[in-house]
Chains A and B, each alone.
Chain A
Amino acid sequence: MEFDRKFLLLCGSEVLVVAAGNLAAALILQVIVLAAFLGDRRGYPVFAAAAILFAAAVYAVGSIALLGLAVALGCGYLALTLYDYRLVRWAAGEP
């Protein structure tokens, strides 16, 4: 139930991010909101750097950058699947 409340707060914050209008303000708000959403922030700067890069792409080419991101995330998902496959093989004791 506590997490549901946090999720509702995240939804409300996303409305604020969209309403910000300015891309820089939206970026700062988004990074703060997602940091607040997390309990453990190890490695968060990596995500923040990726979000800044994506904001730069949106600034450069507009909303169409979402399509590029979808392609990149698709490739990332494949890489993650491969990593998971190697983890399972390692756990099974296979070389």
Chain B
Amino acid sequence: MIRPTRTTGGIAALALALAVVALPLANPAAALAAGSLALFLFWRAWRFERDLFAAATSLAVNRDVDRTILRQGAAATVRVRVDLVTPPGMEIRVRDIPPAVASGGAPLSLPGKAAAYTIRLMAPGETAFGGVVLLASDAFFTRDLACRRPNAPHLRVFPVGTTENGRGTGAGMGDAEVDRRAALAGQGIRGFRPYRSGDDPGQIDWKVSARRDTYYIRQLTGLEGGTPLIAVDLPPRAGDDPATFARFSMAVCGAVEGAITSRDGCSLLVVAGGEVVRFLPRTLDIREALAALGGLAPLEPRAPLYRAPGPAVLAGRARMNGRGAGPEEKTYLARFASVISAFTKQSPAPFAAAVRAAFGRAEASEVRIYSLLAPGDKSHLIQLAREAKVRGMRVVLRAPAGAGTIPGVDAVEVL
């Protein structure tokens, strides 16, 4: 719906004040002034909608992508030019909507001016642009209108590790792009176990098999336990490196895709600071999962936790026993435990409660936390890991090499 500007708010307040004067004093001039101001605003709103419709009907989008067949994670340069008739008194800016599985955003541009930007497509398959957003405003109202129709050209994305003809890595000389292994793998190896009849021979690890003199197969992180829960920690905008975030998105998309194709689905939890941004429980639909991941970008935490340890940690501290301590220390610990218990009960801890509810719905046996471990407060990750441990879940952290770790994780894997 259209949004009023500050001027419109002022006129509405003026009309209200005049109405308040007019009704008790029975002043017809004040009533006329109040009513005509209200009519004026309504007329302007109607005019705004009509003008916006006229502008939207005249919309013509000329979008050019340097490659329409490309590999997962590869960058593509988009040039877009939007032409439309801007009604007098209205100012319109446009923003292209990249495909849902793309990372990278389009800049704002004026109609008639070409804009160029770069995207990276993180999921394989056919995809298309989402249209354009018109950001229209006049002196009284503003409105963002997403026009989905102009979504050409369609893009075809091939998965990493597969050549265009689908024959597998290094299968021959195709006209596909360079099949360079990405720096970040989508799915890690949890461990090895002896080969059993019926196992996929492609999973045999020849190095370990040679060392042990018997066949060993690789166990991928998504192949044990129940459906995993993939928790994505969006980094803050400060110090954001687009290339790092693109690789991070790619790793997350690869993990989700791998978990869904290799098991009975997965759950997805996206957090930013002390806030749950998205949650998708137990999905088998890869499109739905990738759509949930689409459009993610570094996000400034809106609900910081200020290094709060969370109810699970506090409850653990409250259970501390004073074994080997003197009577004074035991008394102190008992008082401390009662204070902590009371505080835990009183504290609402909405983030921990939301995470707990998400874990309850996901019914996962393992949570895999994907994080860049950006400097700053990591208490949301600590709370998340602690809540997982309370439920007896295995916690695996996937973070860049040298980024450190958080307490409470069972394993750390390098992104």
Which residues of A does B touch, CB under 8 Å?
Answer: 3, 7, 10-11, 14, 17-23, 26-27, 30-31, 34, 39-40, 42-43, 46-47, 50-51, 54-55, 58-59, 62-63, 65-66, 69-70, 73, 76-77, 80-81, 83-84, 87-88, 90-93
B residues near A (Cβ < 8 Å) are 1-2, 7, 10-11, 14, 18-19, 21-23, 26-40, 42-43, 45-47, 49, 52-53, 56, 88-89, 139, 145-149
A83 to B39, CA, bound (A): 18
Q: Report the Cα distance A18→B53, complex, angstroms.
A: 37
- Of B10, B19, B28, chain A has the most CB atoms within 10 Å of the CB of B28
Shortest A26–chain B CB gap in Å is 4
Q: Are A77 and B148 in contact (CB under 8 A)?
A: no
Question: How distant is A71 from chain B, measured CB to nearest CB, in Å?
Answer: 12
Counted as pairs of residues, one from A and one from B, with CB atoms less than 8 Å apart, the total is 127
With A50-B39, A87-B56 known as contacts, the answer to whether A7 contacts B49 (CB < 8 A) is no
Once the chains bind, are A23 and B38 in contact (CB under 8 Å)?
no
Say which residue of A19, A20, A47, A93 sits within 8 Å of B148 (CB atoms): A93
Q: How far is the CB of A87 from chain B (nearest CB, A)?
A: 6
With A26-B28, A69-B35, A80-B45 given, name 14 new contacts (CB 8 A): A10-B11, A14-B14, A14-B33, A17-B29, A23-B32, A43-B47, A50-B39, A55-B36, A62-B26, A66-B19, A73-B38, A73-B39, A91-B148, A93-B149
Residues of A within 8 A of B10 (CB): 7
Interchain nearest-CB distance for A62 vs B (Å): 6
Question: In the complex the two chains form, is B36's CB within 8 Å of A65's CB?
Answer: no
A66 near B35: Cβ-Cβ < 8 Å: yes
* Given A47-B39, A81-B1, also A63-B26 (CB < 8 A): yes
Complex: chain A residue closest to B15, CB-CB: A14
A77 to B12, CA, bound (A): 14
When chains A and B are docked, how far (Å) is the Cα of A46 from the Cα of B10? Answer: 23
Q: B21, B26, B43: which contacts A47 (Cβ < 8 A)?
A: B43
Q: Which of chain B's residues have a CB closer than 8 A to the CB of A87?
A: 49, 52-53, 56, 145
Give bound CA distance, A89 to B10, whole Å. Answer: 31
A3 to B140, CA, bound (A): 11
Max count, chain A CB within 10 A of own CB: residue among B27, B33, B36, B45 = B36
Instruction: Give complex CA distance A18, B146 in Å.
Output: 43
8 contacts between A and B (CB under 8 A): A14-B18, A14-B33, A18-B27, A42-B47, A65-B35, A69-B38, A84-B1, A91-B146
B56 touches A91 (CB 8 A): yes
Query: Would you list the 9 A-B pairs with minimal beta carbon distance, nearest first?
Result: A40-B89, A63-B31, A26-B29, A47-B43, A91-B147, A51-B36, A17-B33, A18-B30, A69-B35
